[in-house]
Structure 1
Amino acid sequence: MITTITLNPAVDVRYNLDYFALDQSHRCADYQKTAGGKGLNVSRVLKILGHEIQATGFLGGGSGEFIAGELKKLDIDNRFVQIDQETRTCIAILSEGPVQTEILEAGPEIGQKYAAEFMERYVHLLKDATVICASGSLPRGLPEDYYCLLIRKAHEKKIKFILDTSGAALKKAIAHRPFLIKPNRAELEDLCGKACAGEKELVEQALALHQAGAENVVVSLGAEGAIYLNAQGAYKASVPEISCRNPVGSGDAMIAGFAHAVTNKMSLEDSLRFACACGIANAMEAETGKINCAVMDELRRQIRVVAIY
């Protein structure tokens, strides 16, 4: 059983427009509303890959009810803590280019009562978990070291903890030895406090994060592929050019790919190839957190992985 954690979920609303400009009214006939938040995107892809999922975090209000309904449709075990505030809404506007504009609500503030209730539930869920995937920002009210607490609990049960977050929450968590982290270039530069001009600098900074505690460091580079570094060395994945329909959730699909790879004991090279194929397959779909497995398998054959360090 894979456990996904989405502490700050959202109802994601996406508007697809041919043209978008500020200070104008736009009528949109092409739009989608989905259960969002990075961990829920991970959950959907893992379900497509055939895994049993237990999903947890915080849900509240009408938006929370919508997400709970979507989880039921997908046959994902809903283990969220119910709170007395409204789950946030996040809006993405896709227009020609493609250009993507996002409006992200901050979301509810989690008090000590709900934080304690979540921790109790999390410890219970660890009994059935083989891999933990924790994704996204921390909601207001939780301390910056909250992921550190979750990692420690997972270590006590010898469960691998995959973490996809950013900023102070990620910086604090690295020393607690997460199994895998996946910063993109901008997040890596923010963590290290310096720009990475080329591949050499990217590898150096990924190595610094590995030495600081992260067992596996994946740097996602979008159309340029990804770099994967651990104690065995560093590898670069080069990916095929595609027609991108919707990039939202591609990093989450990569996380799902890595969780699948861990569960199936894939080699480092095959893990990177599989995860990148999941990310690209997501970008080829209109719906967030969705992949076509046949397309993904074909992409795997086109992805080149080479040792670079």
Structure 2
Amino acid sequence: MITTVTLNVAIDKSYVIDELKKGEVMRVCTCSKTPGGKGLNVARVINLCGEEVVATGFIGGYSGAYIESLLQEQGITYDFARTTSETRTCINVLDSEGNSTEFLEPGEPVTQPELNDFLDKFTQMITESDVITISGSVPKGINTDIYARLVSMVKAKGKKVILDSSGDLLKEGIKACPTMIKPNRDEVQALLNCPIDNWDELINSAKKLQNMGIEYVVISLGADGALVVTKDAVYHGKPPRIQPVNTVGSGDSMVAAFAVGLTRGYSIEKLLRYAIAVSTANTLTMTTGSFKVEDMKELYDQVSIISL
């Protein structure tokens, strides 16, 4: 089983419009609502991949109840800790030229007793899981060392853990040496406090992170795929050229696919190919954190894997 952690859950709304104009009334062509926060995107994709998944984190209020109803419709199992505050809403505006403009609410405060309730729940969930993913931001009231604490709890029980975050949460989190991280180029530069101007510097930077005790360092490269560095190998996986419909959630889809591949014991080459195929398939749908299995299968053999 895979457990996904989303401490800053949200209702994700996607608005499709013709053109975004500042200071004017915008008429929305279509609107979709999905359970959001990066970890719930991960859970949705894992479910589509055919693996058992349980989503956890914090929810509260009417928005939290609505998210649970959406997850039930999607057949996703959940076990959340409750808060007295209302779960946030985030909005993604997509125009006819393919531009994406996101409005992300910060998340209402979580109290110490509520955090303690989650930690008690999480402790039990670790024992039932093969792989755990920890994704995204945190609501107010939670210290930046929280992911390091969660990673340490998982590793103490001998389980695999993927951390996908940014800023101080990621800086603190990698001190606990998660099994895998998935930063982009800018996040790697911030982690190591040094510029990356070429391919060799990118690889060397990834190796520095791997040498800290992180088994898999995956650097997401957008349309150029991903770079994976392990103790013994460096691989670059690149997807075929496509015309994307909505790129939001592609990174979460990649995390989901890596979690699935680790659960299934895939080789590093197969792991990377599968992750890129799933991530790329996500860009062909309007729904955030979703893909069609037929798209993934068609893309799978078109992914190029190069050993560096």
TM range (shorter): over 0.9
Give the alignment's TM-score, normalised by structure 2: 0.98
Letter in 1 for 2:239: V
Letter in 2 for 1:72: Q
Higher mean displacement: 251-260 or 95-104:
95-104
Q: Percent identity?
A: 39
Unaligned runs of 5+ in 2: none
Aligned equivalents of 1:115, 1:165: Cα separation in 2: 19
Aligned equivalents of 2:157, 2:244: Cα separation in 1: 40
Give the Å deviation of 1:132.
Answer: 0.2
Contact 1:175–1:214 at 8 Å: present in 2 too? Answer: no
Contact 2:18–2:29 at 8 Å: present in 1 too? Answer: no
Contact 2:131–2:159 at 8 Å: present in 1 too? Answer: yes
- 1:186 has 2:220 as partner: no
Letter in 2 for 1:287: T
Give the alignment's TM-score, normalised by structure 1: 0.97
Aligned equivalents of 1:245, 1:65: Cα separation in 2: 30
Q: Deviations over 1:236-269 (max 9, x none)?
A: 1121111111111000000111011101111101
Q: Deviations over 1:194-232 (max 9, x none)?
A: 332221111111111111232111010111111000101
Aligned equivalents of 1:140, 1:229: Cα separation in 2: 34
Q: Secondary structure at the match of 1:302?
A: coil
Unaligned runs of 5+ in 1: none
Q: Secondary structure at the match of 1:276?
A: helix
Aligned equivalents of 2:111, 2:211: Cα separation in 1: 34
The alignment of Structure 1 onto Structure 2 pairs a total of residues equal to 308
Give the structure 2 partner of residue 286 of structure 1.
286
Give the Å deviation of 1:188.
Answer: 1.6
- 1:155 has 2:160 as partner: no
Give the structure 2 partner of residue 112 of structure 1.
112
Aligned equivalents of 2:185, 2:96: Cα separation in 1: 24
Give the structure 2 partner of residue 16 of structure 1.
16
1:187-266 to 2 correspondences below 5 Å: 187-266=187-266
Aligned equivalents of 1:88, 1:213: Cα separation in 2: 35
Give the structure 2 partner of residue 31 of structure 1.
31
Contact 2:107–2:138 at 8 Å: present in 1 too? Answer: no
Give the Å deviation of 1:62.
Answer: 1.4
Q: Secondary structure at the match of 2:119?
A: helix
Aligned equivalents of 1:213, 1:108: Cα separation in 2: 34
Q: Deviations over 1:101-156 (max 9, x none)?
A: 11110011111101100000000111211110111112211111111111111112
Aligned equivalents of 2:175, 2:29: Cα separation in 1: 47
Aligned equivalents of 2:97, 2:220: Cα separation in 1: 22
Give the Å deviation of 1:295.
Answer: 1.2
Q: Secondary structure at the match of 1:241?
A: coil
Give the structure 1 partner of residue 67 of structure 2.
67
